């Protein structure tokens, strides 16, 4: 199994790589319209990129200033390697470092069980987004005593 590296990404500098993964997963695989996938919020978000040993982009995730985690995507050939969990860990750690009290996401209904072990709880009824059933999930964050001072 190849070694995957996760790094913080910059929308201006890494846009092509971030878009490539999201296009493959959301637009091609899940038939999300491009206008919904690229909603104009990426320039304000923090981004992470998962890279294979050959520097091929294989996963991504963004964190908006509102505390919303989203656009997590891992290419099919790389799923099952805990890349999504690692991306999520980076976003949660960044939110905690910023002193935020909670993060939230709109989980695809079939993916809720992925987020639950990471401390997310369902806080909404099922709703449709881009033709896919979702539920909002929330995770309260724990700040260290040093940060709380």
How far CA 45 is from CA of 39, 61, 102, in Å, comes to 12, 10, 16
CA-angle at 77, arms to 73 and 82, nearest 5°:
60
**Mean pLDDT of all residues in 1-5:** 79
Q: What is the CA radius of gyration of the chain?
A: 15
Output phi, psi for 105, to 5 deg: -155, 160
pLDDT in tens, 113-130: 999 999 999 999 999 999
Contact 141, 95 (CB under 8 A): yes
pLDDT in tens, 42-56: 999 999 999 999 999
pLDDT at 145: 42
Structural domains in the chain, CATH included, are 5-148 (3.40.630.30)
| Residue 2 reports pLDDT greater than 90 | no
**Residues above pLDDT 90, as percent of the chain:** 93
pLDDT-derived band at 93 (thresholds 50, 70, 90) equals: very high
Using alpha carbons, select from 51, 55, 89, 91 the residue that is nearest to residue 70.
91
Any bridge partners for residue 59, and if so which?
50, 74
Instruction: Give the SS3 label for residue 31.
Output: coil
pLDDT at 142: 80
Q: Which two tokens stand for residue 41?
A: 């919020």
pTM: 0.92
């Amino acid at each position: 199994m190849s070694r995957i590296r996760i790094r913080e990404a910059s929308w201006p500098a890494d846009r092509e790589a971030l878009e490539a993964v999201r296009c493959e997963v959301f637009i091609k695989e899940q038939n999300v319209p491009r206008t919904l996938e690229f909603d104009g919020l990426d320039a304000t978000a923090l981004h992470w990129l998962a890279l294979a040993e050959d520097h091929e982009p294989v996963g991504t995730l963004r964190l908006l200033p509102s505390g919303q985690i989203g656009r997590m995507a891992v290419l099919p050939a790389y799923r099952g390697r805990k890349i999504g969990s690692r991306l999520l860990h980076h976003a949660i750690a960044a939110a905690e470092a910023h002193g935020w009290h909670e993060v939230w996401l709109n989980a695809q209904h079939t993916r809720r069980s992925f987020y639950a072990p990471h401390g997310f709880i369902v806080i909404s009824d099922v709703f449709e987004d881009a033709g896919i059933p979702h539920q909002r999930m929330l995770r309260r964050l724990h700040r260290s005593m040093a940060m709380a001072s």
